Amino acid sequence: MQGLWIAVSCFLLSLSLASLAACSTVKSVVPGMGDDTSSGQAAGERLHFQVTPEEAVEILREVAAQNEWELVGTGDQFDMYGPRGRFFRLENDRFLGGVKSVGGAFFAESTGCYAVVEKSGAGLPAELIAPFTAAVAARTKGAGGS
């Protein structure tokens, strides 16, 4: 009886592992799922900017207002070693779906700052990346040309 139980358990385990492997291969060939990153930055990816976190928040304030978002909060971002940058909270009141709230931070680094692409409500919203990047480029180009 115990031998039958072990055989059935092994069979079910191998069947479940086979189904998981089959599902992962299907997911990778379906457009828009898996490793399909042709549409731009991936969620959670770091975006580097040549401005300080303080400048990034000011640029974000301008860009957000132009794209129907509102910057509702900012402040200093700290970790256990001290200040790390500036955090932000954005809101967008949509006709369908109601208020969308996203929080993130611009983290200081030696060449400026970085932020991550929105993932699960945290980070820079994907729809603001292109206008924000363009505004940062215009600001740094203007500052470099002066």
pTM assigned to the model: 0.66
41 found inside a domain: no
**Which pLDDT value is given to residue 83?**
87
- Concatenated DSSP letters of 31-100: TTSTT--TTSPPTT-EEEESS-HHHHHHHHHHHHHHTT-EEEEEEEEEETTEEEEEEEEEEEEETTTEEE
**Of 113, 142, 139, nearest to 47 (Cα)?**
113
54 and 14 inside one domain: no
76 found inside a domain: yes
Residue type, 51: V
89 and 24 inside one domain: no
Per-position pLDDT tens, the chain of length 146: 777 777 777 666 676 656 655 555 554 455 455 544 444 678 878 899 999 999 999 999 999 999 989 999 999 988 898 889 999 999 998 777 788 899 999 999 999 999 999 988 889 998 999 999 999 999 888 766 55
Give Cβ neighbours of residue 80 (< 8 Å, ≥ 6 apart): none
80 found inside a domain: yes
